[in-house]
Each structure stands twice: as C-alpha cells, then as structure tokens.
Structure 1
C-alpha cells in the first residue's frame, strides 16, 4: 500500500463526505433511523455501537469485513458495521494507475514532515449533518483510511464514541486546532503503529499524540515492535477491549 497526506480536489469531497454519509444515510439503510439510533435500552444485548471501517489505498470495503469476526464479546453481538469502498481514481505515486483511493498520493514513505493540504477537507466539513446522535459511534481506519479517520473525527462538530487510527498520520496542519469544536475534542483516540512500518514511517505515527495533546484530546498510543505496514490480531483484540471500555464509561 502506498500513501501520502496530500488531499486533492475533487476526491477530497468524497474523502470526508464518506464519513458523514455513512453516519447519516447508511444507518437508515440498515434500519437504524438517525433519530432513534443508540437510544438508551433496557436490553443489555441491544445494539449500542456503530463501527465504520475505512480501508487503505488499493483495498476495498468487502475485503475488510472479516475484521468483525475478531469482535466476539457479547457487547458486539448486535453491533452495526459499515465497510465502504473508496472510489477508483488515478494515484500519482503509482504512476497514475487507477485504483481505490480516498485521495491522491504523491510519494512514499510518509514521514512526520510530509506536506499537508487541508482546504478541500474544510470545504467538505461545512456540509456535516448534525442530526445524527454520535454516542457510541466508532470510526476506525488503516493507513490512508487512518488519516481519513483522524481528519473526520477532528472536524466532526460533535463528540463520537472514539476514533481508532492504525498506521495512519496527521493530515491537518496545526492551524486547524482553533477550528476544532469543544465537543470534538472530547472524542478519545486510539493510535496503533508498527515500529517496522516502512510505508507510513513510525515517526509519522509518533507525531500523532503531540498533535492531539495540542488539541487537548485524549490519545492512547500503542507501538508494536517488528510489525510493518499491517494490522495484527493483537491490535484488533486491543481495539475490541478499548471500545468495550468506552461503552462502559458511557452507559
């Protein structure tokens, strides 16, 4: 997988819009009207979570659906999942080859000094649907999807259950901090990164917690020795525990 934190028009509108679209629209398609989703229930087995998973460059949503099998705890029995696929577009770092991509990629590896372009992201965020109750909604993403996850969580105007970044990077400049809402700053972040990652360098992941500290957000950073640009079973099992803890604290 090849990726870089440079958003380009017109793909960026699809980038962040995917997040809001699947919160506001797919909930209804799956029989979960936004007006009633995640209302308190006396049934402890009732679905309390909606998990949106954003894949990496060149991947697809369906290919990532087996991830849900790692969430075997009773709390996830009736959880709703969404695995959207990125649109097909030309990717610069792959010599213009057309493939699933949330936004264009110019070079690899991604470092802590890689350039950022957030103007189109901010334009897309202006169209956010504030009608969805975000409690116990978790946004997760790997690699390019991890960068999208972080940007979406920061720019969403309300508090989400949590955001989980796997092998991602900070795609926004520090100037964005003043535009992050007080509610968004309450969303907890889990950041997992392999120390042997040669696509999104470990240093790019390490830059995440200091950035979030400036924002005033809580971030749990997990480093995985000898792990490259991939997701391990250990990471997914920890994600399950992390989400369960958030559910307990919000119930």
Structure 2
C-alpha cells in the first residue's frame, strides 16, 4: 500500500489498518497451532537463551506460542523471553500511540526509507541490558540468540551488530536495515562473527522485499555474511516452515556447555 496515493485525512486510518492487519495475520497464524503446554521461562540451569522481539503494534505475550515449534530436546534447557515494546507515538500513523520499539516514518518500508537512528540506538541499549543480564547469570554469550519479526527484526539486526561480543546468532524475519552505513564503523570484531539468518516474504507489502534484499549487501560492506532465505508468495507474516528452519539453525549453533 502506498500512502502517497491516499488522501491525507485517511492516512492515519490506512496505516492503522495495515498495522492491525499484519498483527492479525501473525496472531491467526499462532492460533492455528495446537494449544501449547509451556514450561516456565527456563531456570538457573538454562543452557541457552532466546530473545524474541515482536513487530509494530504487537506484544510479547501474543508471541509466546512460538516456543511450541522448538520441540527438539536441545531446547529443554532454553530460557525464552518475549518482552513488549513501550507504547509511543508512531509517525507513519500520524502520531497514534502503540507498542513500538522506535519511531517509523513511513509504511511501506523500502530500502531507502528514512532511518530513525537515535530511536534505534535507544532500543538497542534495552536489548543489550537483557543480554548482559543473561551472561551475568552464567549463560555463554554464544548460546544467546536474538530473533525478531518486522520492526523487531530490524531491532534484532541492530542489537547483534552493535553488541561488543560474539553471540550465538541473530534471526531477522521480514525486517530491514534500520541505520545508515556510517554505523558500520561501530561494529566490533566480535560482533562480525555473529551468524545472521534473514528470512523475507517475496510478496511482502509492508516491509518490501527490496528492503530485505538490502540486508546481505549491507552486511557485506561490514565484512559479514548472512544466510538469506526468500519465501515466494509470503506476505508480511510468518510461516511454520520459517520457524522450523530457525529451530534447526539455532540447534546447529548451540555450544556444548554454558
């Protein structure tokens, strides 16, 4: 949907519909799964940690069922955390207040969309605080995985690239690069070793596929590579096969001890 073709007085409604539609699709996808039996959020013996960052207008608790896709025994000692973004005004929705990790200036998000670097960096500090807490609790940094969808995917990328140590991995779903190439100089040698998985639907009309395709080239500039997976006919949503692949991807990178 191009907001430039919509009358000004209807743009707030249009963006709200887009946001609600994207969240509704994701929620419907999760509801289709069998009711889960979820253990507590790990324990003091947790071997690994997975942080999931939701998209614009969503919430952490609404995404908890994602855990049910990770049925391999390697995840029996995984601690999960699904935080919710603070509620704040969002420019692309004419200032409407909703859960948002940082401000977004336009929808659809394209490769050349304006970046809100200050807001992103503030959100990154929050993510880094969460990671630091888990490392202090005894979890190996290389057993920590940050994953996110849409706006949460963009924050995932920024968070793993700007963390001073090598993490287990960062998984971006339908996200984009939320800052300019000038920040490449801030990526530490340790962060450059963090594996990146990028999944994007080729029919995405909210975060355009071109925005996803810009990710590997950006990482190449930083001296990094990522595994990029394109999903034909997939819009701005998640598919079961994406999460099952993520399960295998994380499992193959888990270290033998914490």
Paired position in structure 2 for 1:178: 185
Paired position in structure 2 for 1:97: 96
Deviation at 1:175, TM superposition (A): 1.2
What is the CA deviation profile of residues 123-176 of structure 1, one whole-angstrom value per residue up to 9, with x for unaligned ones? Answer: 776795667341210000000000000000011110000000000000121111
1:91, 1:104 within 8 Å by CA — same for their partners in 2? yes
Paired position in structure 2 for 1:195: 202
Structure 2 residue corresponding to 1:135, chosen from 142, 145, 150: 142
Alignment RMSD, CA only? Answer: 2.4
Matched, 1:51 2:50: yes
1:116, 1:171 within 8 Å by CA — same for their partners in 2? yes
Matched, 1:160 2:159: no
Q: How does 1:1-251 map to 2 (within 5 A)?
A: 2=19, 32=44, 47-119=46-118, 121-122=120-121, 132=135, 133-247=140-254
Gaps of 5+ in 2: 1-17, 20-40
More helix by share: 2
C-alpha distance in structure 1 between counterparts of 2:219 and 2:151, whole Å: 18
Q: Which has the higher contact order (CA 8 A, sep 6+)?
A: 1
Deviation at 1:30, TM superposition (A): 6.4
* TM-score, normalisation: structure 2: 0.76
What is the CA deviation profile of residues 193-230 of structure 1, one whole-angstrom value per residue up to 9, with x for unaligned ones? Answer: 00000000000000000111111123000000000000
1:186, 1:218 within 8 Å by CA — same for their partners in 2? no
* TM-score, normalisation: structure 1: 0.78
CA separation of 1:249 and 1:80: change in aligned 2, threshold 3 A: closer
Gaps of 5+ in 1: 3-28, 33-45
